Amino acid sequence: MSLKFVFRAWNEFFFAERSPIPIALFRIFYGLLVVATLTLLRPDWLSWYGPHAWVSLPTALKLEPGPRLNLFSIIPQSDGWVQALFWVSLGSAILLTVGLLTRFNSVLVFLCLTSIQQRNLYITHGGDTFLRLAGFFLIFAPAGAAFSVDRLIRFRHGKESATIQPRRPWAQRMIQLQLSLMYFSAFLVKVKGAPWLQGTAPYYVYHLDELRRFPLPSWFFYPMMLKLASWSALVMEFSLGVLIWLKELRYVLLGLGLLFHLWLEYSLNIPLFQWDILSAYVLFINPEDLKCAWNWMAGSGRLGVARA
Amino acid sequence: MASSTDETKDPIERSPSETPDLSLDEVREARLTGTEGNVHHDRRHGEGNTASQSSVHHNAKSKASPLQRAKYLVINLFLAFHIVALVCWCVPVDSPLISLGRDLVRPYFLWSGLFQSWDMFAPIPKSANTYIEAVVVYKDGSKITWTLPRMEQLSLTEKLFKERYRKFADNLQREENDDLLPDAARYIARLNSSPGRPVKTVTLIQKWSFIVPRADGSYVPEPWQQHVLLGYGVRPEDLQ
């Protein structure tokens, strides 16, 4: 392998133009998930983030010292200001979803989301973390280049043609890398623990009362099934972290990953976590296949209407 | 802060078909056979004529403005730095080089919000059911027991909204988060106090029941045990 080959591969990976449809779809999913996150938090905005919250701002700053992107540390500490910050976040997330002032709103959503998490890191789960990380790279992506009000406006003003133009995917690639790094890191941490290798870890996880969601069949708790579940989790996390980059295996792994997360969604109560992660799967789908899927769905819809 | 319309003006993001001149990165990637960049190149300059290509590359290279070159360089530095930094941060290996990298990027990651940890149920999953209870004693001598919302006692809809309490209760029980306990005690005092019936003390108690695996996979709940996390004497200013 020569240095020239590495440079070429690097350029092709990050800069060879691709359709912005996947990143635009991701922007929509991402925006909806931020809206859902803020909505689920709505009854407790002040309980978690207000001036008299469970964790006070001085305590949060003491436990997490150093300079941080945190709008809470610069706004006046009053109920009104805290609520205003949340309403701005919500409004901005809605605008990002529809793709109006996309770049500006991607920056604003990231700033608000990071501030909200920095203000109280003791209630965030992995899904929140992923939204924060993906939000950072989304700022740099041409997320408004398709399926957006911005594009509609540009089209109306004759600044853009009817065909969606390809763009450089480097920011999209970073979100993909972040997702695979997340899986790979989770795999590496798990293999450090004997319960995962021995196959007893799921026994503990699924007997945590606080996490239980829907009932599981009794056969799932047979020792052999638990071993299978434990090792499957390891294989899935390794594969989605590393093997996902092999084109031939990608769709199979995305399908298995989808089933894996749907199973977790059914069995564990960690609201939105699975959807936060699954939202980024769209970035791994070939834009041409997305178009085919869209055409197929549109065709089925028309057929359905005709039949009705 | 860039506006949405800036997005279309950025030559790094812009499609070649929209640009009058080729940018430096176009030049570089257009040389890659079989890339989409090449497709654009061919569309404008003929069917893959090598001589024509190199001529175009030469012309385009000379046409790439210093600003475009600088942007290309900055993006590459940005990508290289973030990839190395993310790997150092995420890979749980204790090599001196990775630890050094982690220490170097820590201030930037903490500031920007790029810090992350993917230790869900790992390396060793939590092996006990736990919850937190607060014994609230009033100035008149009466007392109540108040419990942080427990997911297993909530409906499916309530769980959606109150799941953050599970995470918070988990964090309250960690030794490294002991500084959170006085804040939590004060919050509980405010929640249960009224002007006519102020709270005098709050005692936070951790309850736990071990999860013990059985050979046949069955589960029998173990007895609950308890441990006092904090006894807090409430001051009048805590209730304001």
Tens digit of each residue's pLDDT (9 = 90 or more) over B147-197: 999 999 999 999 999 999 999 999 999 999 999 999 999 999 999 999 999
Quick one: angle between helices A170-191 and A3-15, nearest 10? 110
CA–CA dist B230, A163 (Å, integer): 64
Which residues of B fall within a CB distance of 8 Å from A41? 164
Chain B from 106 to 125: CB within 8 A of any A CB: 107, 110-114, 116-125
**Cβ pair A11:B125 closer than 8 A:** no
Query: What are the C-alpha distances in Å from A102 to residues A144, A175, B3, B236?
Result: 6, 17, 8, 48
pLDDT band at A1 (very low <50, low <70, confident <90, very high): confident
Tell me, what's the ipTM? Answer: 0.94
Share of chain B above pLDDT 70, in %: 74
B37 touches chain A (CB under 8 A): yes
Q: Say what the pLDDT of residue B11 is.
A: 38
Q: How far is A239 from chain B (nearest CA, A)?
A: 16
Which residues does residue B197 pair with via DSSP β-bridges, in sequence order?
Answer: B194
* pLDDT over threshold 70, residue A115: yes
| 3-state DSSP assignment of residue A80 | helix
Class of residue B63 by CB neighbours under 10 A (exposed 0-12, middle 13-18, buried 19+): middle
Which residues of A fall within a CB distance of 8 Å from B167? 122-125
Query: What are the C-alpha distances in Å from B121 to residues A200, A221, B112?
Result: 12, 18, 26
Which residues of A fall within a CB distance of 8 Å from B29? 11-12, 15-16
Give mean pLDDT, residues A230-257: 97
Q: Say what the pLDDT of residue A301 is.
A: 58
What element of type H or E holds B187? helix B180-192
B160 touches chain A (CB under 8 A): yes
* pLDDT over threshold 80, residue B13: no
CA–CA dist A290, A25 (Å, integer): 10
* pLDDT over threshold 70, residue B54: no
Share of chain A above pLDDT 70, in %: 97
**Cβ pair B217:A203 closer than 8 A:** yes
B1 touches chain A (CB under 8 A): yes
CA–CA dist A66, A107 (Å, integer): 22
Which residues of B fall within a CB distance of 8 Å from A68? 110-111, 113
Chain A from 209 to 268: CB within 8 A of any B CB: 209-213, 221-223, 225-226
**Is the pTM higher than 0.95?**
no
Q: Say what the pLDDT of residue B24 is.
A: 42
> A66 in the Ramachandran plot: left (φ > 0), alpha (ψ -120 to 50) or beta?
left
B86, B119, B163 member nearest A271 (Cβ): B163
B82, B113, B152 member nearest A69 (Cβ): B113
